[in-house]
Structure 1
Amino acid sequence: MATQQLATWSVNLQYANLTAPVIAAAVTSLYNWAGCAIGGYQQPAPSLALNATFPHFGGAPTSSILALANDSTQTDAQIAAFVNGIAGHVDDYDDTHLATIIHPTGTVASALFAVAEWQGGVTGQEFVTAFVAGVEAELKLGLAVWPEHYDVGWHDTSTTGSIGAAVAVSKILGLDVPTTQQAIGIACTQVIGMQEFFGSDTKSFHIGRAAQGGMIGALLAQSGFTSSLQGLEAQFGWVHVVSTRENVTAEFDQLGEVWEILSNTFKPYPCGIVMHPSIQGAIEVQSAALGQGLRIQDITSVEARVNPETLVLTGQTDPETGLEGKFSLLFGQATPSQFTDSVVTNATVVALRKLVNVTTDSTINEDEAYVSALFQDGTNVTQHIEHVIGSIDNPLNETQLKAKFMDQASLVLGEERAGKAYDAFMGIGNVSDVGLVILTGRGFEGASAF
């Protein structure tokens, strides 16, 4: 039985079972996401969510909003998980498991950080083990129903993420197998997220709500709340309701043998990952053109040849907002500052966007693209991106990942405190209390303890 199989594996998982590469991938996933959650709070959605919920639903202040840790702002664990989940995904800068297009860290980490800080005394090793359990759960589940589940319109980051969060929080709470099964069941019935809402605040809401739902599932189960012990595999359980295909037993048979977290990737650009080859191609075309003394104003047409999945997910040709702009094509660089309403509606940007023609080619891989620009003097500048930076075959290195974290976190925390936060998250596996990592953002001077 799949639900019992997942629960049993998670309950029995120990830090000693994790290989060095798995631990390294977990730590990288966590600090990459933390940078996204800190920097992402500058978008409107996270503060809107906090202001709409905290005055009415906030319980005892136990857990931190990562971006507000500097102000000693705390909420209850449920709101913290919700808001951090939104903040970590709103820029679309978080990690991606390419085989499923799931962004695995946000739902699990948002729930875990909130609960760990609230509970207190959760060691780094306990935290990392629970995190890996949750990530493996959601990614194996995603693979089991891919691609039918996604193709029908579900947002699989959140639909699987609530279950991953439930598994992770159950492990932190020390729940036994039957109780973890109940937690998984409660998470299953809170399935959330549809692709209709891509390009709006609600896309990141999916992640916050999934983190919240998984946490609630574990806490309810801990208190004796019942659901179904076969929440995943029953005739009317999760895998059969949300997909016309499932292979969950075969995927769960590989738990602890094939680690999906090792296939996690990290974005160089804050937008849908299928756009990345085109963005890198455009950046390289711009650089090559300027190197030849050509002027961008003299471009007469831009051609991009891409994998068909690119237009399925990012075919918005006339975006009106920064969030919609994440699902369009353009610009000489791509950082969060390029995905704003003012940039998307800028007259020069709109004019250049109208010169872009995109064609699809099924022989082109998802991490590949051809981009060319034709200039008034007849010069054609073409770049072929064989493996985009941030892909499995061309991953971001540690220096690039640190720069990404610092670029985001320093905008909120300042350079010095962002550096301390980076060191703290990097050393998360060695702490005696994960809450100390959060305290670093409030100017806590005990970073040497890491």
Structure 2
Amino acid sequence: MKTVLERIARQLVSRPSFSALAMERAEDAIVDTIACMMAGMNDAAPQSVAAAFATEIKPDGPSLVFTGGRASRSVAALINGTAAHCLDFDDNFHPARAHASAVLVPALLSVATSSNDFSGPMLVRAYLAGLEAQSSVGVGTIPSHYNRGWHGTSTIGCIGAAAGVAVLLGLDEAQISHAMSLATSMASGPKGQFGTGAKPFHAGIAARNSVEAALLAQSGLTGRLDILERPQGFLDLFGGDEAAGWADLSWDEKHVIETRGLVTKLHPCCASTHRAIDAALDLQKEHGFSVEDIQRIDTKVGRSAVDNLAYPDPSDEMQARFSMQYCLAVALTNGGLSLGDFTPQAAIRPEPRCLMAKITMTSYSVEEERGVERLPHHVHIALKDGRRFSTERLHANGAIQRPLTDAQKLAKFKDCVRWSGRQDTDVTYASIKRLCSEDSVKAITDGLFTGRHSS
């Protein structure tokens, strides 16, 4: 009988093609993640990582580094993964409870920008393979693994991205299995780091580890192929008390990006806040009240969301991204959230504090969540004039059930480019999307980000 990793690898190599919808959604995710990398490249976290490895960054290294220069595939993936996730503007992937693209895209680009051998379509197909691998690993452990306190981005994300990198490198079925096995030994990252620079570093670690796992498998290193399900394996050690395992693992004819999709973020903060933000803004739009009219706001969210949102009175921009009180107060005051709301100065401004003090957050009970993958987040708003409003959200804006419009995608992209400090107009949504279809990813990125055109 084949192991779980062997079954996943077989699925990845046996899928004959991807639909136009799957390819389009993957391209959108790649463009969105590159925009987030650009926006994040000046943040303290990736800058610190780049400084730590400064001696390994050269003008003519193998792979593109978004903070500047070029480096080995490993170092490029580490820095770029940290940049992709540091502003918490990158997408979410519920089947793995992970920031799937913040690991996958930097890992794949570190390989694709190292040689002219990798085309845009190869990049997109490898992305879809890595996403399906993340989903497949998540089937056996989510949500128990995440609720236990593991950051799925740096655990499941690492294992799945290793499969994606292996596919991009053209490895065979057995090598893909071993790449995932080796990545399982590298999977790490506690959610207790949320609200610090270590949290985006998790995405960088996972991207680097996934690249190295694939390269090691390519060179002949092997691991146990039953490491997910065996005693003292991933499920046993990381699964949590209610992990289901992979007995029911199966795949639809349609790719998971079509059936479950990604959640493209509209707000640059922890996704645990998004459904409450969207619900509160729905109520404000419908009933026309101002923040001065509000007497009290009560929110009810999932248990893991309460764990994630540990900063009711944030003292810096990292903590602010993980504060329901801050995010909800600023969103209702300004009609939304922007990158400018998460700076050291913005995070400690006194203006939102009055409304923040009126916001409470409670969670579902263990019994309410048991056996249910996803429950809606509730918002109840009481006004000073006695009126009461309530609503709920099962899906945030940006989910495939509530997709962003083309105008919203473009506005987000432009906001990220502006935040990066680039003054030129060479980097456009269309120019980034071109790298998904051209013969050489390296040629496109060299022209856009290094001022050189590859021969």
* Bin for the TM-score computed over the shorter chain: 0.7 to 0.9
Query: Aligned match of 1:390 in 374, 393, 398?
Result: 398
Corresponding letter in the other structure for 1:224: G
Corresponding letter in the other structure for 2:13: V
- Residue 94 of structure 1: how far off its partner (Å): 0.9
What SS does structure 2 have at the residue aligned with 1:216? helix
Deviation digits for residues 134-185 of structure 1 (CA, Å, limit 9, x no counterpart):
1110122112211221111111111011112211111122112222222111
Matches within 5 A, 1:289-300: 296=291, 298-299=292-293
- Residue 404 of structure 1: how far off its partner (Å): 0.6
Q: 1:122 maps to which residue?
A: 118
Q: 1:149 maps to which residue?
A: 145
Q: 1:18 maps to which residue?
A: 18
Tell me, yes or no, if the aligned pair for 1:104 and 1:139 is still in contact at 8 Å. Answer: no
Distance in 1, matches of 2:286 and 2:155, equals 42
Tell me, yes or no, if the aligned pair for 2:97 and 2:146 is still in contact at 8 Å. Answer: no
Query: Aligned match of 1:176 in 172, 176, 179?
Result: 172
* Worse-superposed segment, 325-334 or 109-118: 325-334
Note the residue ranges of structure 1 that are not aligned, 5 or more in a row. none
How many equivalent residue pairs? 431
Q: 2:299 maps to which residue?
A: 305
Structure 2 vs 1, CA of residues 445 and 423 (structure 1 numbering), >3 Å: closer, same or farther? farther
**TM-score if structure 2 supplies the norm length?**
0.86
Structure 2 vs 1, CA of residues 59 and 221 (structure 1 numbering), >3 Å: closer, same or farther? farther
Q: 1:95 maps to which residue?
A: 91
What SS does structure 2 have at the residue aligned with 1:357? strand
**TM-score if structure 1 supplies the norm length?**
0.87
Corresponding letter in the other structure for 1:434: V
Distance in 2, matches of 1:177 and 1:371, equals 51
Query: Aligned match of 1:400 in 408, 414, 419?
Result: 408
What SS does structure 2 have at the residue aligned with 1:348? coil
Query: Aligned match of 1:351 in 350, 354, 377?
Result: 354
Corresponding letter in the other structure for 1:29: A
What SS does structure 2 have at the residue aligned with 1:430? coil
Corresponding letter in the other structure for 2:318: L
* Worse-superposed segment, 205-214 or 143-152: 143-152
* Worse-superposed segment, 33-42 or 392-401: 392-401
Distance in 2, matches of 1:313 and 1:436, equals 40
Corresponding letter in the other structure for 1:54: A
Structure 2 residue 341 is the aligned partner of structure 1 residue 338: yes
Greater helix fraction, Structure 1 or Structure 2:
1
What SS does structure 2 have at the residue aligned with 1:156? coil
- Residue 281 of structure 1: how far off its partner (Å): 4.2
Distance in 2, matches of 1:371 and 1:436, equals 52
Matches within 5 A, 1:19-418: 19-55=19-55, 61-66=61-66, 68=68, 73-244=69-240, 245-251=243-249, 253-254=250-251, 257-262=253-258, 263-283=261-281, 296=291, 298-299=292-293, 301-309=295-303, 310-328=305-323, 329=325, 330-331=329-330, 332=333, 333-360=336-363, 366=375, 368-372=377-381, 374-375=383-384, 378=385, 380=387, 382=389, 384=391, 386=393, 388-412=396-420, 413-414=422-423, 416-418=425-427
Corresponding letter in the other structure for 2:295: S
Tell me, yes or no, if the aligned pair for 1:58 and 1:76 is still in contact at 8 Å. Answer: no
Tell me, yes or no, if the aligned pair for 2:108 and 2:165 is still in contact at 8 Å. Answer: yes
Tell me, yes or no, if the aligned pair for 1:285 and 1:381 is still in contact at 8 Å. Answer: no
Corresponding letter in the other structure for 1:36: C
Q: 2:7 maps to which residue?
A: 5
Corresponding letter in the other structure for 1:394: R
Distance in 2, matches of 1:266 and 1:156, equals 17
Distance in 2, matches of 1:354 and 1:162, equals 39
Distance in 2, matches of 1:135 and 1:440, equals 28
Tell me, yes or no, if the aligned pair for 1:306 and 1:358 is still in contact at 8 Å. Answer: yes
- Residue 249 of structure 1: how far off its partner (Å): 4.7
Distance in 2, matches of 1:444 and 1:423, equals 18
Corresponding letter in the other structure for 1:8: R
Structure 2 vs 1, CA of residues 63 and 320 (structure 1 numbering), >3 Å: closer, same or farther? same
Distance in 1, matches of 2:118 and 2:170, equals 11
- Residue 231 of structure 1: how far off its partner (Å): 2.9
Tell me, yes or no, if the aligned pair for 1:35 and 1:409 is still in contact at 8 Å. Answer: yes
- Residue 301 of structure 1: how far off its partner (Å): 2.6
Tell me, yes or no, if the aligned pair for 1:66 and 1:441 is still in contact at 8 Å. Answer: no
- Residue 56 of structure 1: how far off its partner (Å): 5.6
* Worse-superposed segment, 177-186 or 84-93: 177-186
Percent pairwise identity: 25
Structure 2 vs 1, CA of residues 26 and 394 (structure 1 numbering), >3 Å: closer, same or farther? same
Structure 2 vs 1, CA of residues 434 and 13 (structure 1 numbering), >3 Å: closer, same or farther? farther
